[in-house]
Amino acid sequence: MAFEAFGVAAEVRFGAAELEAHVRAILPPGWRACDSARAIATFSLQRVEVDSYSVTINGSSAIEHASLDVALGLIDADIRMLIATKTSDWIFVHAGVVALGDRALVLPGTSFSGKSTIVRSLVELGATYYSDEYAVFDEDGMVHPYPRRLSIRSDDGAVITEHDVRELGGVAGEDRAAVGLVALIRYRPGAQWRPATISAGEGTVAVLTNTVPAQQRPGDSLRTVARALRDSRVLVGDRGEAGVAAEALFAELTAAGSEAPRS
Amino acid sequence: MADRPRARSTGVLTEQVGDELVVYDSVSRSAHCLSADAASVWSLCDGERSPAGIAGELGMAGESVDTALRELGDAGLLESVFRQQQGISRRDAAKRLATIGAAAVSAPLIYSVVIPAAAAAMSGTSGPTDLCAGKNCDDHNACTIDGCNPLNGQCTHTPVVCDDNNLCTIDTCDVTKGCVFTRVANGTPCQDGTCQGGVCVKTP
């Protein structure tokens, strides 16, 4: 099965027909079928024996004797990395994103920074889901949806389950949005949400640390992130319980939407 | 001339953001946000003007220009001749940035970060042998840089080095706040004179 997303083409091969539905479930948002000749990477998923699978990437063994979930997770992660690093028309920033109307809240952060938890809380408050993984920017600095299934970690961080945003009563965004608010959040148990405001320039620098192609395409990255943040507020702070910070951010985003000039 | 600072012109990309200037340094792979004052000083570092000349042209206090120049040198944004005069080499600056990692370098005029490689900016996707997926390595200590070795799944907690290369501050690390740079008392002797407001001021 060859597919293309965000201008990057890849192929996933699987030995058994019953694997097709599993593979389709991990393909990136907005994927569409394409000619396998365009693929720049080939993933192969093979069942070795009952509940034991192997994965090769471009012909090299990546994992053997893995469960189906682990094998699919590996392919999923590598496809995401492939797209984020190889796309030439988009800038991928590691961030959670929600929106109200045409104004987006971007929550940059690396793994385990609690983005998904905040995103989930915001969706439950009524925000439109864009992503818990990437803020995908076009050359105008507008953010586009990347509504993969929401990852929810268990309290101890050891188990991750994925959920369609509709299962949480939310909706996924379909249109691009301007960035109205950026929040750089660190999870600290017991912390009270008392964010400080930093400048757009400082925010640009901070967001660059989460920008996937910042080293490979620094000019595009710098220009795009600066454009994205030109009319946004940038907050930085520690949060404890996610719901409190989410409610405050929801109010901030509501205010940002009402104050911003409509395009 | 050694006493006339020259801004680096190669390996840097700039973008104006409001009245600030964001600079990406492809040599040290770091990004800097220059305040309006720092950007103004940097724009006049042409190797011809002296610090006093820059101060006069901008209507800024000499100490403010000196501070900006020191921080520009610290960030590696001046040619090496002038930086070395200031006592800060590019290597030192890069080392300092690298050891602090992505955390902000405390500075009043310039905010700097190191840009991680693409894979490091990703979520649990360090490659096909990633044994860190789903692992929480946060030790809730702001004085360590938390990481995970994808080859063995072991958490790593690298101590943050809090060194601002400033003799007029006492460098410590607070487990909740991270690096803390406390000014020493005014009048404390330093390399070229005495400390005033956290800055070493030359004694005439």
> What's the ipTM?
0.85
Which of A45-54, A198-207, B185-194, B195-204 bottoms out in mean pLDDT, i.e. has the lowest? B195-204
* Per-residue confidence band for A262, with pLDDT thresholds at 50, 70 and 90: very low
Sign of CA dihedral A246, A252, A257, A258: positive
Which of A6-15, A113-122, A224-233 bottoms out in mean pLDDT, i.e. has the lowest? A113-122
- Using the Cβ of A67 and the Cβ atoms of chain B, whether some distance falls under 8 Å is answered with no
Instruction: From chain A, pick out residues whose CB is under 8 angstroms from the CB of B155.
Output: none
- Smallest CA-to-CA distance from A90 within A178, A4, A212, A205 is with A212
Per the prediction, chain A carries an average pLDDT of 90
pLDDT in tens, A135-176: 999 999 999 999 988 877 666 655 667 788 888 888 999 999
Percent of chain A with pLDDT over 90: 64
- Smallest CA-to-CA distance from B73 within B113, B29, B41 is with B41
pLDDT at B196: 79
- Contact assignment for A112 to B26 by CB distance below 8 Å: no
Pick the more confident residue, A45 or A189: A45
- Using the Cβ of A63 and the Cβ atoms of chain B, whether some distance falls under 8 Å is answered with yes
Q: Mean pLDDT throughout A224-248?
A: 92
pTM: 0.75
Q: Name the phi and psi angles at B97, rounded to 5.
A: -65, -40
Cα-Cα-Cα-Cα dihedral of B130, B133, B135, B138, to 10°?
90
- Contact assignment for A73 to B138 by CB distance below 8 Å: no
Of B15, B121, B140, the CB nearest to A211: B121
| Average pLDDT per 10 consecutive residues for chain B, totaling 204 residues | 82 93 91 94 94 95 92 87 47 40 50 73 42 66 68 62 75 79 82 78 72
- Smallest CA-to-CA distance from A139 within A77, A238, A221, A251 is with A221
Please enumerate in sequence order all residues whose Cβ is within 8 A of that of B135, keeping only pairs 6 or more positions apart, or say none.
A157, B148, B153, B155
